[in-house]
Amino acid sequence: MQLKTILREWQNEKGDLDNLEEVIKEMLINIGSVDEELRDSLIYSTFYQLIENNKLSNSLMVKILDVCLSEEYLFKGIGEQDTDTVFTRSFSSLVIALIVEKDKTKEFLDKQQLEEVYKKTTTYLQSEKDVRGYVEGKGWAHSIAHGADLFESIISHPSNDILHAEEWLNVIKACIWRDTVLQDDEDERLIFAVEAMIEKGLPEEMLVEWVHNFESLLEAKLKEQNRIVFYKYRSNVMNFLKSLYFRLTYLDQNIHTQHQIKKTLKNLHEAMYKRE
């Protein structure tokens, strides 16, 4: 099977779908390929087209979901850094997001399946250690950004309510709280999840307290006396809070949170440069 040829034909609507399940099996086998064209431009894009255009049955989407949630996909090599397994994890999360999005209108996933998606996604995001963005010669890994896309889809799903807010905020914090500087718009992607929480009715006082808590976290990190590591945590926090502040101003939402972000950024700035 010449997978690339078949997928190019499908994308150009020139090939038939008679061997659909066989091709999808090959797509899943190669979902984490280090060939950027195959992985991203062909496999992921084809999954998007097939799901968006209702070319897959509900039962087939459930099969794909089960595979992508498995230990050999969403959790393949979890905990590793700078290895190619990140591509399998990251692109599995994107396909899961496509299926969760489709369920919002087709409602083919039952309560147990949705709970499994939720639990495994939160576990994955808090366990992912490889936060590289673009990998030279192999393309986008972007695990945090792709995971954020999945997380936003889950939060905004009608089956979820704001009772999970504290856990949601903890997951977002875990994505930010890294000793590697995130530099490929991960903050912007994570804020979509915060927006989804606000739309679900997130109490503003909870968000204000969450923002404020980064000050004490960074103060504790500074006391560990590894200033290089501290700078990395601080960069991630400040970049995220700056992006969140401007997103909230664009949306004209959560004025109290905006004020707290300004206060927190001011305090972090003064605390840093008073020590210099």
Report pTM: 0.95
CB 149 within 8 A of CB 94: yes
CB 241 within 8 A of CB 176: no
Closest residue by Cα to residue 60 from 110, 117, 22 = 22
Residue 84 has a pLDDT of 98
CB 100 within 8 A of CB 153: yes
Burial bucket for residue 43 (CB in 10 Å: 0-12, 13-18, 19+): buried
For the chain of 276 residues, list the mean pLDDT of each consecutive stretch of 10.
89 79 97 98 97 96 98 98 98 98 97 97 97 97 98 97 95 96 96 97 97 94 86 96 97 96 93 66
Residue 1 has a pLDDT of 63
Q: What is the CA radius of gyration of the chain?
A: 20
Beta strands in 72-163 (DSSP E): 134-135, 139-140
Residue 276 has a pLDDT of 47
Calpha distance 272→40 (Å, rounded): 41
